[in-house]
Amino acid sequence: MSKKKIGVIFGGRSVEHEVSVITGIQVIENIDKNKYDVVPIYVSKSGDWYTGEELSDIKNYKDINNLLSKAKKAFLSPVPSVKALIVLPEKKGFFKKDVEYIPIDVIFPAFHGAHGEDGTMQGLFELCDIPYVGSGVTGSAVGMDKIIMKDIFKSNNLPIVNYIWFTRDEYEKNKEDIIKKIEVQIGYPAFVKPANLGSSIGIGKAKDKDGLLNAIEVAAKYDRRIIVEKSVENCIEINCSVIGFDNDFISSVCEQPISLEEFLSFDDKYMRGSGSKGMKSTVRKIPAPIPEETSQSIKNLSIDAFRVLDCSGVARIDFLVEKDSMKVYVNEINTIPGSISFYLWEACGIKFSTLIDKLIEIAIKRHYEYSSNIYTFDTALLAKASMGAIKGGKTSK
């Protein structure tokens, strides 16, 4: 039986580019090579695609220019009949190699942030008609947008903190009115966040008006839409992962990540380790030291959040828990979590390689289910048009 070709794609035009590279390399290092042939696909910060074995070694990224000089440029064709990575020819001397086609059976995206985790790449994979790991276009897009995500959580009665949002343009034109609205409806302290960003980049905590003005100025550099949330004081962060698709879900053990600051910064999450450890390098308590009742509540809420956003594959849901009352708030969902949250599943007895197997299986199952939908419908409309049956440039629906 021939091995499936898995295209692991990572990097991308995102401020979380380096984090994505780490996650992608982790997947490549831990995938079962007896079952799969891996095709590494690196997307540079400028958006160019590359492939080649040298992209599988994290050490090579220390000199990115040298690495890319050895790799080959490539792209994925959106034509459904192709289902292949197209490698562009290299011209050397008077000779030019032919275009190379590498068939891809399943795509494993390891993107974080914009242009990869937000539904854009997922849309391309849909056009290619290739199974891919993770949530679809809708779940990915909504999971990235904190405003729409919280609106959906709220409409489904999931517990969330109070929040308001506004656009950069609205703020520039009505700064004082918006500041006053925040002070009345949210108060201090408050968290200010870009609507579409992860890894704690662009997030600030405001304890007074000056802090609020500064935090909004920073957040507005990363996104045109800004969300301001009530801060839950004297709380801990608890995370839980979910795997599944189509009402078949399981939740992981809960964890408590330990931060040196008041909230997990980018450095806390990714820069306190080395090599390709990624999110596992963060100091954390697994299982989280919380009451069993609270832990079970978080596990149930994790599945609820996963389901209402129509997610699939794996995700990590982050919570805020008041230390005294143990009141739980859903903070956000990460549809492509750092390190694929493998450390939470290892604590459940599931190896990283087994987790990857499961995600590939779900990708194939999800693709089969979606392929069962009717996407075309033959009518006599064009035949009628060719006979002059459509007049005045109008058609009926």
Residue ranges at the known binding site: 146, 191-193, 199-200, 229-237, 318, 331-332, 334
Rounded CA-CA distance 242/300 in Å is: 10
Catalytic residue among 14, 16, 20, 297: 16
Amino acid letter for position 341: S
The DSSP string of 130-168 is --BSS--HHHHHHHH-HHHHHHHHHHTT-----EEEEEH
Burial classification of residue 59, based on how many CB atoms lie within 10 Å of its CB (0-12 exposed, 13-18 middle, 19 or more buried): exposed
Residue 251 falls in the annotated catalytic set: no
Amino acid letter for position 262: E
Give the number of other CB atoms < 10 A from CB of residue 239.
26
Burial classification of residue 2, based on how many CB atoms lie within 10 Å of its CB (0-12 exposed, 13-18 middle, 19 or more buried): exposed
Catalytic residue among 259, 339, 341, 353: 341
Residue 16 falls in the annotated catalytic set: yes
Kindly report the backbone phi and psi dihedral angles of residue 256, in degrees, each rounded to the nearest multiple of 5, phi listed first. Answer: -120, 105
The DSSP string of 173-242 is HSHHHHHHHHHHHT-SSEEEEESS--TTTT-EEESSHHHHHHHHHHHTTT-SEEEEEE---SEEEEEEEE
Burial classification of residue 155, based on how many CB atoms lie within 10 Å of its CB (0-12 exposed, 13-18 middle, 19 or more buried): exposed
Catalytic residue among 14, 135, 140, 199: 199
Residues in the annotated binding site for Mg(2+): 318, 332, 334
Residue 90 falls in the annotated catalytic set: no
Residues in the annotated binding site for ATP: 146, 191-193, 199-200, 229-237, 331-332
Q: Which residues are catalytic?
A: 16, 199, 341
